[in-house]
Amino acid sequence: MKSKEYIRPMRAMWWLHNTQLKLFMLRELTSVFVAGYAVFLIVLIAKFNTRTPVPLGVDPFGDTLRCPAALVFQLIALPFVIFHSVTWFNLTPKAIVLFRGEERVSPLVIAGGHYALWVLVSVLILLVVL
């Protein structure tokens, strides 16, 4: 027997309704670029692995890094991934509730701490790489 339970109909474009919902959907979309870049890294590693025995003048690893399609994808992905970082750190006070004695640590301190860590990590990685 079919259930008589009422299921509210929902259109696929419900999220175009207002700015909040559009921003929510944009945040969810960032995950596609996060995964896309992970796939690009897998391709890079595969190209790197085939690099050593190839004849002189052939460089699959360098070609992949300099490939215009890869660069365009990364330049599009970058703002989405930064949007992911910002929305993620802004939510940290909701996920992490700390108490110092009786007093709750300010949400600003928790989010701010994550932003500071982000800057520190990025600078350290740049120093290692450059």
Partner 1 sequence: MAKSNEPFWWALFGAGGMVAALFMPITIVITSVLVMCNAETPDQLGRLFGNPLVRIYLFVLISLPMFHWAHRFRFTLVDLGLKAAKGPIAVLCYGSALAGTLIAALLLLGIWA
| Residues making contact with partner 1 (CB under 8 A) | 10-12, 15, 25, 28-29, 31-32, 34-35, 37-42, 44-46, 48-51, 59, 61-62, 65-66, 70-71, 74-75, 77-78, 81-82, 84-85, 88-89, 95, 114, 117-118, 121-122, 125-126, 129-130
Which residues, at least 6 apart from 14, have a Cβ–Cβ distance to it below 8 Å?
21
Question: Considering the complex, what minimum distance in angstroms separates the CB of residue 88 from partner 1?
Answer: 4
Residues 6+ apart with CB under 8 A from 49: none
Q: Quick one: 81 exposed, middle or buried, by C-beta within 10 A (0-12, 13-18, 19+)?
A: middle
Minimum CB distance to partner 1 smaller for 1 or for 129: 129
At 122, list the tokens. Answer: 């990025």
Q: How far is the CB of 71 from partner 1 (least distance, A)?
A: 6
**CB nearer partner 1, residue 44 or residue 105:** 44
